[in-house]
A = this chain, B = another copy of it.
Amino acid sequence: MNVFIIGIGLIGGSFALDLKTVKKQVEIYGVDENEEHLEKALDLGLIDKKAKFEDIKNADLVYLAIPVDASLEVLPKILDLVSDKCVVIDAGSTKEHLCKKVENHPKRRNYLSAHPISGTEFSGPTAAIHGLFKNKTNIICEVEKTAFKLQEIALEIFQAIGMRIRYMDPASHDRHIAYVSHLSHISSFMLGKTVLEKEKNERDIFDLAGSGFESTVRLAKSSPAMWTPIFSQNKKNVMETLDEYISNLKHFRKLMEEDNFEEVFNEMEKTNHIREVLNGINKNEELKLQ
């Protein structure tokens, strides 16, 4: 099986690593604009060979893992090139624009629109790790538009690398993910910004910050090149989540200003319910491990 990874970073590289462990006789080709990343990916054994974009015509599977603005340009060109038996999967964090972009492409049936809910705050080929997708959710959009046989090939791989599958329409995906992923990133970036601005003397952050701060600010290490186009493509939904978040923060501030600490207590107690929700996530992951 000839697999082409377009964008050999955290996601593309981790997919390559997992694919090698679950598939016999797989040849992995890397395509990346960044020549250094390609060389690094070769060194690390993420890919078997470097390839040119036009070689995609020989692919059995193409995995597209580049920033979502670039995907809008690149996916149609990939579909132009691939053979009828090739399945093209993307891993982008926004789905509506991309699905719209290729809706009338003659090879739309070769494309499977997916979003693996997995990653770390790191990026590039050195960030690639084995097992990144294990017990993680893979959201598939517009599955009915992909050729049945190609769906099968993709699903067999997703299952082999340990992913749970959920089907969703692109608009719902983008709306929901704005809440549970995109907003978290902005809240984290702005928290980092607020503290950095204040604590000009970094020695103070360094000395007083505990694991709580580290946990809430972790996502502020994420790649701006990846996240800027996500916020741009999902602008409407993300702004809605931001409005609600800001309004909740202002309400909390107002309660404090009014010395209404009984209600401050209640706000937090109600939100403690997140424990059960998160426990649910972990319990399910444990169940899947058995």
- Note all chain B residues with C-beta closer than 8 A to A26: none
Inter-chain CA distance A202–B266, complex, in Å, is: 21
User: Which of A75-83, A96-104, A106-114, A185-193 lines the interface with chain B?
Assistant: A185-193
Of the candidates B180, B186, B257, B284, the one whose C-beta lies within 8 Å of that of A213 is: B180
Given contacts A137-B207, A277-B206, contact A242 B249 (CB under 8 A): yes
User: Which of A6-14, A44-52, A153-161, A268-276 lines the interface with chain B?
Assistant: A268-276
A240 nearest CB across to chain B (Å) = 9
Contact yes or no, B256 A208, CB < 8 A: no
* Interface of A: prevailing SS: helix
Contact yes or no, B206 A280, CB < 8 A: yes
Contact yes or no, A117 B176, CB < 8 A: no
Residues 228-244 of chain A: 1 if any B CB is under 8 Å from the residue's CB, otherwise 0? 11011001001101111
Asked if A53 is at the interface of the complex by the 8 Å CB criterion, the answer is no
Asked if A205 is at the interface of the complex by the 8 Å CB criterion, the answer is yes
Inter-chain CA distance A278–B136, complex, in Å, is: 27
Contact yes or no, A209 B119, CB < 8 A: no
Contact yes or no, A250 B246, CB < 8 A: yes
Contact yes or no, A228 B181, CB < 8 A: no
Contact yes or no, B190 A252, CB < 8 A: yes
Residues 173-210 of chain A: 1 if any B CB is under 8 Å from the residue's CB, otherwise 0? 00011011101111111111111111100101111111
Contact yes or no, A118 B210, CB < 8 A: yes
Q: Which of A137, A190, A202 is packed against the most chain B CB atoms within 10 Å? A: A190
Asked if A74 is at the interface of the complex by the 8 Å CB criterion, the answer is no
Contact yes or no, B212 A181, CB < 8 A: yes
- Note all chain B residues with C-beta closer than 8 A to A257: 239
Asked if A148 is at the interface of the complex by the 8 Å CB criterion, the answer is no
A121 nearest CB across to chain B (Å) = 8
- Note all chain B residues with C-beta closer than 8 A to A190: 245, 248-249, 252, 271
Contact yes or no, A193 B242, CB < 8 A: no
Contact yes or no, A194 B244, CB < 8 A: yes
A14 nearest CB across to chain B (Å) = 14
Contact yes or no, B252 A242, CB < 8 A: yes
Contact yes or no, A274 B194, CB < 8 A: no
Asked if A218 is at the interface of the complex by the 8 Å CB criterion, the answer is yes
Of the candidates B136, B220, B264, the one whose C-beta lies within 8 Å of that of A231 is: B264
Given contacts A213-B180, A250-B246, A275-B221, contact A198 B241 (CB under 8 A): yes
Inter-chain CA distance A271–B205, complex, in Å, is: 14
Partner-B contacts on A (CB < 8 A): 117-121, 136-137, 139, 164, 166, 176-177, 179-181, 183-199, 202, 204-222, 224-225, 227-229, 231-232, 235, 238-239, 241-246, 248-250, 252-253, 256-257, 259, 261, 264-275, 277-278, 280-281, 284
| 12 sample A-B contacts, Cβ–Cβ < 8 Å, listed by A number | A120-B211, A166-B207, A176-B204, A193-B270, A195-B274, A196-B271, A206-B281, A217-B278, A224-B265, A224-B268, A232-B256, A242-B253
